[in-house]
């Protein structure tokens, strides 16, 4: 850490469903510098003030997507959010919205990953044998790559899912992450899933339920635009596959 | 195209119909006809009853009725299905909004038909 030491108040959500307790907020004073991240501040709490605090984290560089949480009311990655950028003396941290809580700031991603898996996030080929032969490669032009590459940057951190107003009310809605990944494979020139992929999201709780609030794209830490993917997917569902 | 996609396609089309038929209706009342006359119930050219007697305008009102009934009740269906999930709930909502939409269309069509006969 570098720069002058200052102090901020961390207001941390505490809840342990296993002991039947009620949610509460604990307040900790934490010394921070200009480059202190919210994750570093929370780890300071865990190491020096309260070792019982539960947090999920891994890479500390916005690559693994483990440390997503609500920071001052917005879904953000704790490792990617500087305390100084929040411009607040009190920082409130809570588990991600729209996820069940495992403990404190740790959210349960079971449903989220289940919805992701339901989209078959891998290339579907009519001839599956050809996929298993190691000497086969699928060529792509730059244009074909550009159609899906931004959606391939998704790190499955769940921030878009936490920001989605439809997920908040409709538990069967796949959510922006799953839908953008469906589009990512649907539009991939190597994929032969076609209509089979669209069937998964064509029911009354599928892609047509998106309100286009656009909050998913606002909070994505990797610059993915799930709202765009959803609108393109909706177009595919209503008007058929676009080749241009 | 799936059933839900067809319903939503019709939802968007009826939205456009509401804009067009609604514009014709408002233009008839506020721009084409003298406003005072449009409120009258007599034999003057732009009175309420003569609007119904004009098959083109009565037709646009019927189109407006059908579009509003479908668009409005489908919108309500979408909201209700988002608020609660489950097979029984989905079936109940689908039946309830269909019955309500049909009742509104029958009642509205009856009004347009009777008025055009007067």
Judge: B85–A209 Cβ closer than 8 Å, yes or no: no
Judge: B8–A171 Cβ closer than 8 Å, yes or no: no
A116 plus A103 within the same structural domain: no
A68 plus A98 within the same structural domain: yes
Cβ contacts of A131 within 8 Å, gap of 6 or more: A123, A125
Sheet (strand A24-32) strand order? A24-32, A6-14, A90-94, A68-71, A74-77
Nearest chain A Cα distance for residue B54, angstroms: 37
Give A34's DSSP letter: T
Domain count along chain A? 2
Last residue of a domain, one of A87, A107, A127: A107
Angstrom CA distances, B92 to A105, B82, B87, B100, stand at 39, 14, 9, 12
Q: Quick check: is A244 in a domain?
A: no
A134 plus A223 within the same structural domain: yes
What domains can you pick out in chain B, each with its CATH number? Answer: 3-117 (1.20.1300)
Among the partner residues B1, B81, B83, nearest to A204 by beta-carbon distance:
B81
Number of other residues whose CB lies within 10 A of the CB of residue A34: 14
Last residue of a domain, one of A107, A127, A143: A107
Q: What is the pLDDT along chain B (118 residues), one digit of tens a residue?
A: 888 999 999 999 999 999 998 998 888 878 877 878 877 777 787 788 888 888 888 898 899 999 999 999 999 999 999 999 889 999 999 999 999 999 999 999 999 988 888 7
CATH code where residue A29 lies:
3.10.20.30
Number of other residues whose CB lies within 10 A of the CB of residue A43: 18
In angstroms, the CA B15 to CA B52 distance is 23
pLDDT per position as a tens digit, A27-59: 999 999 999 999 999 999 999 999 999 999 999
For A87, the token pair is 């411009």
To which H or E segment does residue A112 belong?
helix A110-118
Instruction: Output phi, psi for A29, to 5 deg.
Output: -95, 125
Q: Quick check: is A179 in a domain?
A: yes
Among the partner residues B1, B83, B90, nearest to A204 by beta-carbon distance:
B90
Range of the domain at A122: 110-239
Q: Is the pLDDT of residue A134 over 90?
A: no
Looking only at the bridges linking them, the beta strands covering A74-77 and A24-32 are unpaired
A40 plus A53 within the same structural domain: yes
């Amino acid at each position: 850490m570098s720069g002058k030491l200052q102090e901020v108040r961390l207001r941390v959500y505490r809840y342990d469903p296993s002991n039947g307790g009620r949610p509460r907020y604990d307040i900790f004073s934490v010394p921070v510098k200009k480059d202190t991240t919210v994750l570093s501040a929370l780890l300071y709490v865990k190491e020096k003030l309260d070792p019982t605090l539960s947090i999920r984290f891994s890479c500390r560089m916005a690559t693994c997507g483990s440390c997503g949480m609500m920071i001052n009311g917005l879904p953000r990655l704790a490792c990617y959010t500087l305390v100084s950028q929040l411009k607040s003396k009190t920082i409130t941290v809570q588990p991600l919205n729209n996820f069940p809580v495992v403990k404190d700031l740790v959210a349960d991603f079971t449903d989220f990953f289940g919805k992701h898996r339901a989209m078959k996030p891998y290339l579907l080929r009519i001839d599956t044998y050809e996929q298993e032969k190691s000497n086969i490669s699928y060529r792509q032009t730059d244009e074909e790559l550009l159609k899906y590459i931004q959606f391939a940057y998704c790190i499955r951190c769940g921030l878009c899912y936490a920001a989605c107003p439809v997920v908040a009310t409709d538990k069967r809605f796949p959510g922006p992450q799953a839908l953008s990944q469906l589009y990512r494979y649907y539009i991939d020139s190597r994929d032969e899933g076609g209509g089979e992929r669209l069937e998964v999201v064509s029911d009354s709780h599928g892609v047509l339920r998106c309100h286009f609030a656009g909050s998913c794209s606002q909070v994505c830490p990797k610059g993915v635009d799930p709202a765009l993917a959803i609108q393109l997917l909706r177009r595919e569902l209503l008007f058929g596959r676009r080749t241009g | 195209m799936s059933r839900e996609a067809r319903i939503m396609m019709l939802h968007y089309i009826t939205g456009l119909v509401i804009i067009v038929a609604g514009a014709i209706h408002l233009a008839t009342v506020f721009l084409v006809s003298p406003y005072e006359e449009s409120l009258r119930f007599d034999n003057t050219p732009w009175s309420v009853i003569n609007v119904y007697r004009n098959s083109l305008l009565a037709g646009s009102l019927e189109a407006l009725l059908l579009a509003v009934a479908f668009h409005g009740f489908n919108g309500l269906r979408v909201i209700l299905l988002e608020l609660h999930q489950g097979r029984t709930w989905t079936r109940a909502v689908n039946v309830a909004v269909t019955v309500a939409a049909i009742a509104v269309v029958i009642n509205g069509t009856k009004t347009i038909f009777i008025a055009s006969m007067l």
